[in-house]
Amino acid sequence: MADGTFAVLTLALGLLDMGSNYCPTGSCLGPNEVDSRMSFSLGETYFQDDPFGTEFYVRRDTSLAYGPFQVIYGLSLTDDNDGWIGVGQSWDTTFGAGYLEFHAMPGLYVQGDGVDLGGPIEFRSGVELGYEARNGMRIGLGYDHRSNAGIYDSNMGLETVHLRVSIPTN
């Protein structure tokens, strides 16, 4: 899935949720307060389906959402000294003690000794599935994709499979 599939799913599921749960109350994209979290993940990066390196990623899920879209921002570094920083939104749903989340974030990429992704503007989108404890702490397995959505001549993608731990900060 080396394309914008997760970004499209984030938008589509969020719009469905918005139409069902937010617009009937008159606040389709109105600001609202949600649970905030600080997340840390470690994962393996893949370039053209081959393992490439290790990534450490820190993400802040703010307490601000617009309708079902929570404001998030993140920073990642790889063992090849590549860096990425971005801001965007996530959409999630819970079921029992489980959760499913999709996110989409535009950001800036700084190439170190790693993959040439075509340019500095890179979009990160992904999916995460995991367990949420009663105290709000989450542990999940995720898959992220980064690419430039074709805005540069070269649109090489980089994937990350990661384990994330999220700590509530309310």
Predicted confidence (pLDDT) per residue in 15-43, tens digit:
888 888 888 877 788 899 999 999 999 99
Q: What is the DSSP letter of 36?
A: -
Beta strands in the chain (DSSP E): 31-33, 37-47, 50-66, 69-78, 83-95, 98-110, 121-132, 138-147, 158-168
pLDDT-derived band at 9, boundaries 50, 70, 90: confident
Q: Is 76 in contact with 44 (CB distance < 8 Å)? A: no
Taking only the tens place, the pLDDT of each residue in 46-88 is 998 888 999 999 999 999 999 999 999 999 999 999 999 999 9
CB 95 within 8 Å of CB 131: no
What is residue 23's predicted lDDT score, i.e. its pLDDT?
Answer: 83
Q: Are 69 and 90 in contact (CB under 8 A)?
A: yes
Residue 1 has a pLDDT of 46
Cα–Cα distances in angstroms (integers) from residue 26 to residues 9, 15, 29, 134, 149, in the given order: 24, 14, 9, 31, 34
The pairs formed by 140-145 with CB atoms below 8 angstroms and a separation of 24 or more are 140/99, 140/101, 140/164, 140/166, 142/41, 142/43, 143/1, 144/6, 144/43, 145/1, 145/2, 145/3, 145/5, 145/6
Q: What is the C-alpha to C-alpha distance for residues 130 and 127, in angstroms, rounded to an integer?
A: 10
Q: Considering the domain delimited by 5-168, tell me its CATH architecture.
A: Beta Barrel (2.40)
Q: Tell me the pLDDT tens digit for each residue of 94-127.
A: 999 999 999 999 999 999 999 899 999 999 999 9
> pTM to 2 decimals?
0.90
Q: What is the DSSP string of 126-146?
A: EEEEEEE-TTS-EEEEEEEEE
* 131-157: average pLDDT: 93
